[in-house]
Amino acid sequence: MAATGKPVDYTVRNHVAVLTLNAPPVNGLSQSLRRAIKTALCDAEGDGCVEAVVLMGGGRMFCGGADIKEFASGEISEPDVNVIIRQMEIMDKPVVAAIHGVALGGGLELALGCNLRIATRDARAGFPEVRLGVLPGAGGTQRTPRLVGVGLALDLILSGRSIGAKEALERGLIDALSERDLLTDAIALARRACQSGDPLPVAGRLPFNGTSDLEQTITAALEQVLRRTPDAEAPKAIARCIAFAASGVDFEEGLVFEREEFLKLMSNTQSRALRHLFFAEREAAKIPNLPPDVALRPVERVGIIGAGVMGRGIAMTFLNAGIPVTLLEIDADALQRGVEAIRSNYVTRQEKGRMSAEDLKERMGLLRSSTNYDDMSDCDLVIEAVFENMEIKQNVCARLGEVCKPGAIIATNTSTLNVDTIANASGRASDVLGMHFFSPAHIMRLLEIVRGAETAPAVLATVIALARRIGKVTVVSGVCYGFIGNRMLESYLRELDFLLMEGATPARIDTALEAFGMAMGPCRMMDMAGIDVNARVLDERAAEGALPDDPGYRALVRKLAAMGRHGQKAGQGYYRYEGRTPCADPQVDRIAAELAATLGIPRRDDITDAEIRDRLLLPLINEGFRILEEGIALRPGDIDIVWTAGYGWPALTGGPMHHAEALGLGRVCHRLEELGRQTGDRFGYFAPAPFLLRRVADTA
Ligand code: 3HC
Ligand code: NAI
């Protein structure tokens, strides 16, 4: 149907008014769209030739929900979605929602307010509000349990996941699947509803069918969510709304209760932080000086060099997206180990019922393996994931420069090394960039893309588009040690060893950071990543003269590495391991105390949790300002995405840079200076970054 440029297109077909939402890109329910729907419904009601209404979305989807940008004002202007739904519910003409693409959040609530719902087979429906720190605020918590039962309602609303149309039909969320043309089928459904003479179904008038153990069901579902994010407000409010509905109150009272809870959440800091991340994630894929019309290079086959920890995960990332992979190793044994590890990962998934036998066969069928570099010649993109050693990487890239076809992209998965030096070794630096995956690569969402000095715009644009295809969120970084994430990680870890030497235990430090919301405290994280790996990087950096020339700097990590306490894989690191369970190890405290004595570091018993957090987190934030000033990161939001998607920083705080703004930059500055005085700041990392100081001065 041709769009008229109005927010809602109104046409009449076969005595059915067809209201088409026309608010690209997602038909977000902005005030202008809400007003237009209200007016169009009045028109349909007053039109004597119209017997029924079909509500559908123009463009790619039915409706992506409320216009989140409006939340910033702290209120929802009239008419809100509840008003529209009320209007549909009291109309004596049937209203049918015709869903294609997605019906999410307020979009699904709008559909639930219609008498009937029909969807295309590939459509999806869900309530993602919890991911934005809010809840369905237009009756979703009240109508959904009435329509499909409390179990599914809790599942959908607490998880934010969406379900496909087939499941939605089976579970009663929709009434029919469209087998041919959606609009034709929706009109036919609407006409049948008129002709049947049966009372029109209204979800809000259904009784609340609860079982006696309802309260327990709600508490158990909530507890499960809070295990991951105990501080999250939205899940608690969702549980309250559903429990309120279940308590036997009138439906209208439930709507009022839900609205109050929604408005409270909308204005709280958690929702602001999560909305910031939603927009930051989309913004991060936009690169200011990249021409929008740059022609993308085709990527039909990907080559991967090295089938170690990362190579295997990267291979599975592409196989999972249906992209053929050629995996290359140094010899047949290493290659077989890599391929078998991939197969065994898939077999385990199949055994757990998360993958079908056909999918397993299909994915392994897309995998070719080789020990011959000539087999890279038909790949459109080759990613090297060999040892973190400049000479080896240069040799590999020189070889790839020779064997890869013209136009093929060469990427390095280095986590710290200079991408330009690696690119130059290839002899075709414009084809090269960094693709820094995170471990496990097939699970972690973040992909840091490192743009070299010579990287061609088409290469960068192709990899950003490809990342979307393989389900990654991308951030583009400039070239420097560790790029955005690992460079800031070093700032995070610098005070760790000093705190331990001063007398804080690993468990104490981890608990303080986990209470702040980090997915894992720094000691557990280091034990998992490998203390030897970190110590090797430190040695290399020290040899380059890039680290402070001071025996105290990261002294404990080097000592533990030298003692073979390499972390979880060695059964001991900052902790002692029983299986994968970390146990406090008094020996680590003794080692730390001995080092402190040797280095003349006084032991203290007055270290507070707040000091632990500040000494670890504020230098990290400070480094973020340096990274911004140098142009390594394009925006503060990019840094926030790196840390929330790649390093377990709590999304509820919006990432380190958003968190700093929320704390107040003046306060951050002041506390850094205070800590600098307290610790002596031998290495200068508590000195506020010039950009931070300027920001403080600008806002004073
Ligand atoms: N409000 C405002 N803008 C939105 C939006 C929304 N709900 N959803 C998407 N957008 C914007 C994006 O910021 C982006 O803008 P840009 O082009 O300027 O960067 C543009 O629309 C396209 O978005 P995507 O790139 O994400 O498009 P996709 O096609 O990949 O995905 C989508 C579409 C699945 C709808 C995805 O955008 C999405 O998940 N959106 C959010 C859905 C959501 O959370 N809905 C609930 C909102 S809260 C609510 O409804 C409250 C209610 O209960 C009262
Ligand atoms: P790994 O040691 O598990 O695997 C490296 C593999 O490369 C080995 O199987 C080795 O046989 C193979 N290899 C070495 N030289 C080769 C050559 N010339 N040709 C073909 N294969 C060769 O190492 P891992 O952990 O997979 O790291 C690989 C790269 O990924 C490194 O650059 C590392 O810094 C980076 N990285 C590692 C992360 C991690 O958490 N392990 C995270 C992000 C990046």
Q: Do 409 and 497 fall within a single domain?
A: no
Task: Out of 166-175, 271-280, 482-491, 543-552, pick the least confident.
Answer: 543-552
User: What pLDDT band is residue 208 in, cutting at 50, 70 and 90?
Assistant: confident
Q: Do 426 and 409 fall within a single domain?
A: yes
Q: Do 253 and 399 fall within a single domain?
A: no
**What distance in Å separates the CA atoms of residue 497 and residue 538, rounded to the nearest whole number?**
13
Peptide bond into 440 cis (omega under 30): yes
**How many other CB atoms sit within 10 Å of the CB of residue 269?**
15
| Residue 60 alpha carbon, nearest atom of ligand 1 | 29
Tell me, what CATH number does 582's domain have?
1.10.1040.50
Q: What is the mean pLDDT of residues 151-180?
A: 97
Q: Do 493 and 448 fall within a single domain?
A: no
Q: Is the pLDDT of residue 2 over 60?
A: no
**What distance in Å separates the CA atoms of residue 492 and residue 496, rounded to the nearest whole number?**
8
User: What pLDDT band is residue 683 in, cutting at 50, 70 and 90?
Assistant: confident
Q: Do the domain assignments include residue 657?
A: no
Question: pLDDT digit string (tens) for 612-642?
Answer: 999 999 999 999 999 999 999 999 999 999 9
Q: Is the CB of 388 under 6 A from ligand 2?
A: yes
pLDDT for res 699: 84
Q: Is the pLDDT of residue 521 over 60?
A: yes
| Residue nearest atom 19 of ligand 1, based on CA coordinates | 282
Q: Is the CB of 277 under 6 A from ligand 1?
A: no
Higher-pLDDT residue of 2 and 269 is 269
This model of the complex carries an ipTM of: 0.97
| Burial category of 197 from C-beta neighbours within 10 Å (exposed 0-12, middle 13-18, buried 19 and up) | exposed
Task: Out of 8-12, 361-365, 539-543, pick the least confident.
Answer: 539-543
Number of structural domains the chain divides into: 3
Q: Catalytic positions, please? A: 109, 129
Q: Is the pLDDT of residue 1 over 70?
A: no
Q: Do 75 and 101 fall within a single domain?
A: yes
Q: Do 548 and 461 fall within a single domain?
A: no
Q: Do the domain assignments include residue 362?
A: yes
Ligand 2 center from residue 311 Cα (angstroms): 7
Q: Do 444 and 533 fall within a single domain?
A: no
| Torsion angles phi and psi, residue 299, rounded to 5 | -130, 100
| Residue 529 alpha carbon, nearest atom of ligand 2 | 40
Q: Do the domain assignments include residue 31?
A: yes
Question: pLDDT digit string (tens) for 110-136?
Answer: 999 999 999 999 999 999 999 999 999
Share of residues in the chain with pLDDT > 90 (%)? 93
Q: Is the pLDDT of residue 679 over 70?
A: yes
Provide the H-helix boundaries in 470-521. 485-502, 506-516
Q: What angle do CA 8, 14, 19 make, to 5 degrees?
A: 10
The kind and range of the H/E element at 185 are helix 182-196
- Whether 610 contacts 504, CB under 8 Å: no
Integer CA distances (angstroms), 371 to 194, 319, 327, 397, in order: 68, 19, 8, 15
pLDDT for res 212: 74
pLDDT for res 3: 60
Range of the structural domain that residue 447 is part of: 302-477
User: What pLDDT band is residue 260 in, cutting at 50, 70 and 90?
Assistant: very high
| Residue nearest atom 15 of ligand 1, based on CA coordinates | 282
Q: Do 415 and 526 fall within a single domain?
A: no
Q: Is the CB of 392 under 6 A from ligand 2?
A: yes
Task: Name the average pLDDT for the chain.
Answer: 96
